[in-house]
Structure 1
């Protein structure tokens, strides 16, 4: 059984869920988790906050918080390093900027700075970055901010950063003038379900990018035996050790199958007297 992918929903009250004690409190997180579970994806929402009417309801969505701020302490940029250390994440879902816009202090570069911290904490992380939803009374500054977010993300992707952009403003199909919004800024349960559906394909893509392959870390020979030190294993998931005499062309054969009980393991096989050289690789038995 593969370890679950750790996902941190990161944002403000839209991520936390609006309205204590009502269905809105689950935000998009409950429906998104159910969509992933229904399709067999093993995930674990992580974070120091909990809200919503479902079991795996951890997150880092905080009411009224800014992406960044020069003086206010309730900003994500000043705290994300601590959160990533306390509850490490493989994937971070970012929906940030609404409160910054409300106070005329929005800056896409602050979100870029947040991603810098995320990638320092976990260089292999994937950030799924939302172009944030608009408001019930359309705010052009949100559209402008999203354009800046998108340009920033495109530049970072071109430089090799693992970022996936999701257009929440227009791509989720939210009708801002209808029952999709609970108030001026927060979605209703219907709107949150639309957000979840829009997150889903990007999260699936991020999960596929997070699945790492097992690796042969080192090889040693002692007498008639060969020993491989293996890493990046999934405990409980069978591994096949394959061997070929040549790579031109290869003819891989099964040299042994085992099920590791830890993320690292040692495999030992026997050398044949007629082998002049050999190449080894690992494959998952599924």
Structure 2
């Protein structure tokens, strides 16, 4: 649980450490969740926390008993030291509040770990001239407590307000949030049990945007490649309504299929929350992903004639479109050879799901309306209670595939909604059932053994 002020919560004009820390924990293979009554927006939608913008540590002390009883986290990340003025001489009462917060949490849960941060420095002076003294006293307090379950985390050291804050000289910019996340992570690995797997993809740029940013592929390569042997490839597009999401969603699947001998790729693409784009730009990116993989086939030992496109929800729509949407000159090297679709939003027509522009131009974007004999074989998984992708839509998709004499496996998951399972939560038997069925489909088409 992140506990603090606006530096924990984040804001429209500045970053916070929550999402970059979430990325680091997920990539390191840990099973975890962020909890709290408040939410902060990020590229995966939102993350929960106990950050209260504009509030002091004394405010947190007044609320912590009820807050922690409702959200009894195993680990508390406490960073709170702003929102006072130097002329108040606030340090003694702030230290008293820290001690009270720690005591109240430990009364409720004696096994809790509390990571007590020395707060990041600020150049907003003279208001925050007290912070160096505060950080000295925080260190002294933690040492005096002498508890292995209350640990000092030095967020101040190496944090440079000139490089790491926005124009207000207080709140972290993207680099500052990343630095804070790195410091938290270094402290967390000292108390967390070792994870079973750590994900280490090769991350390469496949496209440069007009603003100078790059889009990346996260490539998981199989071991023991010999000679010039080429391998089948599966590329995943994350879900999130063309608005949110992260390639990290499919790290588990990528690592698994790389262990089965495939080249596995999690693709980033433009989304509305970050790039203010439409699904049409997302689809252009998806096409460029396949083109890049084919143009770099020899470098990554990719069989250019065995590329499976996969994805969930909006990512499933992009994957499906790679196998169905043709431009005037054909597929021009972006068509996938196999489709593995998880609750894909395939109907973007006038009565389907999507933006108004999609519905007006559905013949350019809607997989359901563009199936042909050139569509590759499809694996299609959807829940019977999915409020976005109905069973009727899934069955119509399968019927159109059958009419065009193309293989389509439709798997209905009784009682499941949208999504079928949540990748950010503990995995259940549904996840492994989906994997089992996907394995069988890939074996049938010669992609794995």
**Bin for the TM-score computed over the shorter chain:** 0.5 to 0.7
Candidates 66, 79, 86, aligned match of 1:95: 79
Matching residue of 1:9 = 2
Deviation string, structure 1 residues 107-158 (Cα, Å, up to 9, x no partner): 212111100011111110000111000103464410100100110001112x
**Is the 1:137–1:176 contact (alpha carbons within 8 Å) kept by the matching residues of 2?**
no
Q: Specify whether residues 116 and 100 from structure 1 end up closer, same or farther in structure 2 by C-alpha distance, changes over 3 A only.
A: farther
1:198 aligns with 2:183: yes
State the match for 2:22 in structure 1: 33
Deviation at 1:175, TM superposition (A): 2.0
In 2, Cα distance between equivalents of 1:30 and 1:103: 35
Whole-angstrom distance in 1 between the partners of 2:6 and 2:63: 16
Q: Does 1:154 align with 2:147?
A: no
Higher relative contact order (CA 8 A, sep 6+): 1
Larger radius of gyration: 2
Q: How far has the Cα of 1:90 moved from its partner?
A: 0.4
Q: What is the CA–CA distance in structure 1 between the aligned matches of 2:39 and 2:87, rounded to whole Å?
A: 27
Q: Which digits, 9 at most, give the CA deviation of each residue in 1:6-40, with x for residues without a partner?
A: xx100000000032xx5x35x10100110011010
Query: Within 1, Cα distance between the matches of 2:175 and 2:167?
Result: 9
Q: What stretches of structure 2 of length at least 5 have no aligned partner?
A: 195-449
Separation of aligned partners in 2, 1:58 and 1:17: 12
Contact 2:161 2:170 in 1 (8 A): no
1:59 aligned partner: 49
Q: Do the aligned partners of residues 45 and 15 (structure 1) sit closer, same or farther apart at CA in structure 2, a change above 3 Å counting?
A: same
Equivalent in the alignment of 2:39: 50
Candidates 167, 178, 181, aligned match of 2:154: 167
- TM-score between the two structures when normalised by the length of structure 1: 0.61
Cα distance, 1:201 vs structure 2: 1.1
The runs of 5 or more residues in structure 1 that have no matched partner are: 1-7, 69-74, 210-286
Q: How big is the alpha-carbon RMSD for the aligned residues of Structure 1 and Structure 2?
A: 2.1
C-alpha deviation, 1:178, in angstroms: 3.2
Q: How many Å separate the matches in 1 of 2:170 and 2:185?
A: 22
Equivalent residues of 2:159, 2:176 under 8 A apart: yes
Change (3 A) 1:45 1:56: farther
**CA distance in 2 between partners of 1:32 and 1:115 (Å):** 23
Higher normalized strand content (fraction of residues): 1
Deviation at 1:60, TM superposition (A): 0.2
Q: Secondary structure at the match of 1:51?
A: strand
Aligned residues of 2:86 and 2:130 also touching (Cα < 8 A)? no
Q: Pick from 115, 120, 136: which aligns with 1:133? A: 120
Distance 2:51 2:167 in 1: 18
Alpha-carbon distance in structure 2 between the residues aligned to 1:122 and 1:39: 26
TM-score by length of 2: 0.40
Tell me the equivalent position of 1:245.
none
1:118 to 80, 91, 105: 105
The answer as to whether partners of 2:7 and 2:172 remain within 8 angstroms in 1 is: yes
Query: 1:79-103, CA deviations, whole angstroms, 9 ceiling, x for partnerless residues?
Result: 1111111111000000012113567
C-alpha change, 1:178 and 1:153, in structure 2 (3 Å) is same
Distance in 2 of aligned mates of 1:134 and 1:61:
18
